[in-house]
Amino acid sequence: MAESSTSAWAPSQRQLERERYRRSRSLRSTLIAGVSTLAVLAVAVTALVTSPGWPRVQETFFSWDKAVEAFPDILQGLWLNVRIMVGCGIAIGLIGISIAVLRTLRGPVFFPLRAFATAYTDLFRGLPLLLLIFLLGFGVPALRLSGLPSSALFWGCVALVLSYSSYVAEVFRAGIESVHPSQRAAARSLGLTYAQSLRHVVLPQAVRRVVPPLMNDLVSLQKDSGLIAVLGVIDAIRAAQISTAADFNYTPYVVAGVVFVSLTIPMARLTDWVARRQGFHGAGGMV
């Protein structure tokens, strides 16, 4: 008995054949995908470089010397974009979850809070982000209100927080309402108060379920942080604009685009990995 239990398991011949077949099919699919991708890229590049205006476009948008010259300033501006993303991301998360909780409160006594939360999301989801940046970045400092900052960077960040928190609040609310009412009822039956059941039972499940869409919002915030350049703040985009204004060579814009994409693509792949790891396919985020 002990000998049979300790003997190593060996796959059958049929199982080995299936595995070999799957490996061959996977290799074949990979080769076909690689060849087709290279063929499409070759056609696209050939059409680009053989076009009549390519020499002029290459000089204006893909100048290596101009890229090297502008890169340090753009990289310094990108550091500001990263700090904006981190700081605004924390504020957006806190405000978003607070608004979501207010919208899910039950009972007529909480109607003013629910109305405020609804008006908040309706207003700031309805206003275009660029318009909101203009209104706050140029309008509020012009009021010269005592005790309030007049920095364009500050009000640009406020605009980002107001706009994104309205979207994030709806994501959190969807997560909260996706938790089955029996979970809350079970928590209350164990003696937890409403606030305790919300904190210890409902919110942990809700946050777990909405992590992938929240990470998508973070990816969007990462690139939309460049919109504050319209206020004159020297971020990566504004640094590219300043460099371009010297000789009307648009290579710095291409460099700025490359550095933003270099940040966005890893975040997007991380979002996909988290979604797959959590089994994000309507199963409540559970594996």
Following DSSP, what letter does each residue of 245-271 receive, concatenated?
Answer: HHHT--HHHHHHHHHHHHHHHHHHHHH
Give CA–CA dist 29/34, Å, rounded: 9
Rounded to an integer, the average pLDDT of 230-240 is 89
- What's residue 282's pLDDT? 43
pLDDT the model gives residue 276: 77
Q: Which residues contact 95 (CB under 8 A, 6 or more apart)?
A: 161, 165, 168, 169
- pLDDT value of residue 280: 56
Cα separation, 36 vs 30, in Å, equals 10
Amino acid of residue 170:
E
pLDDT score recorded for residue 285: 41
Q: In the chain, what are the domain boundaries? A: 13-43, 68-277
Average pLDDT over residues 146-156: 87
pLDDT at 200: 85
pLDDT at 53 over 50: yes
What is the CATH architecture assignment of 68-277?
Answer: Orthogonal Bundle (1.10)
79-130 pLDDT per residue, tens: 999 999 999 999 999 999 999 999 988 888 889 999 999 999 999 999 999 9
The reported pLDDT for the residue numbered 204 is: 87
Contact yes or no for 235/229 (Cβ under 8 A): yes
Tell me, what's the pLDDT at 9? Answer: 76
CB atoms within 10 A of CB 70: 24
With a cut of 80, say whether residue 8 has pLDDT above it.
Answer: no
How does 265-277 read in b/e, with b if 16+ C-beta sit within 10 Å?
Answer: eebeeebeeebee
Average pLDDT over residues 150-160: 92
pLDDT at position 181, please? 85
> Using CA atoms, how far apart are residues 74 and 69, in angstroms rounded to an integer?
10
Mean pLDDT of the chain, nearest integer: 86
Q: Is the pTM for the entire model greater than 0.85?
A: no
Amino acid occupying residue 28 = R
pLDDT of residue 73: 92
Confidence of residue 250 (pLDDT cuts 50, 70, 90): very high
